[in-house]
Amino acid sequence: MRVKELWRYPVKSLRGEQLAEAEVSSNGIVGDRRVAVVSSESRVITSRTKPRLLGLQGGIGADGEPTVNGWAWHTQEAARLVQQATGAESPLVPMSGDEAFDVLPLLVATDGAVNYLGIDSRRLRPNILIADVAGLAEREWPGGTLTIGSVRIRVAKLRERCVMTTFDPDTLRQDLNVLRRIVDKLDGTMALDCAVEEPGLIRIGDPVAFLPRSGSHGRL
């Protein structure tokens, strides 16, 4: 198995950026979910309810700060783009630690499951896409550990999927059949919520190994 794709999402719920390499800390990929869109009541707004956010490109500028379509996140231009997407005044605010993530700081997907369902992997918004995985092997991985070089990733559980998977990442057209297939074929879960046990640097093409939890018979 190997690392096929690496992604980070500097602005929560915006389109992610693909990376050739990524520094992984205890809080996931460095630069991931640094900023979020909030409502006037200071509640985080996501593309579950405002799917047009998926049409905006999140990034990291030369100064290390998150950007929206190339504009620094704290500029009026970025605020205007976000307001157009949400239809209301929706400020961008910095996030930190656990508050930045819905579950755990890393989401890992596998090409085996993606190919089984026949969908664009970007609909799952993974941080890491692993290639050369046999079929639905990921479903046997919770409780085990993924190793990528010196990086150790604990696989906690399968991710319960939501309506965000139904939006085409390029056109934003909605296809509810995507989520129906995930529910019908995979009990509504796909890809893996993970925590970082040992940080480090990972690159496209790096070999990946799976270590099952003690006493289990997971696939290697």
- From the candidate CATH numbers 2.40.33.20, 3.40.50.300, 1.10.10.10, 3.40.50.720, the one assigned to the domain spanning 2-6+102-211: 2.40.33.20
181 membership: H or E segment, kind and range: helix 176-186
**Per-residue pLDDT at 97:** 63
In whole angstroms, give the CA distance from residue 212 to residue 10. 31
Please, are residues 124 and 166 in contact by the beta-carbon 8 Å criterion? no
Q: What is the pLDDT of residues 51-75, one digit of tens each?
A: 999 999 999 999 999 999 999 999 9
What is the distance in angstroms between the CA of the first residue and the CA of the last residue of the chain? 9
Question: Which value, in Å, is the radius of gyration of the alpha carbons in the chain?
Answer: 17
Please, are residues 119 and 64 in contact by the beta-carbon 8 Å criterion? no
Domain spans of the chain?
A: 2-6+102-211, 28-100
User: Chunked in runs of 10, what are the mean pLDDT values of the chain (220 residues)?
Assistant: 98 96 95 92 89 96 96 96 93 77 88 97 98 98 97 98 96 97 98 97 98 62
Q: pTM of the full predicted structure?
A: 0.92
Please report the DSSP string for 194-219 in residue order. EEEEE-EEEETT-B-EEEPPTT----
In whole angstroms, give the CA distance from residue 24 to residue 199. 5
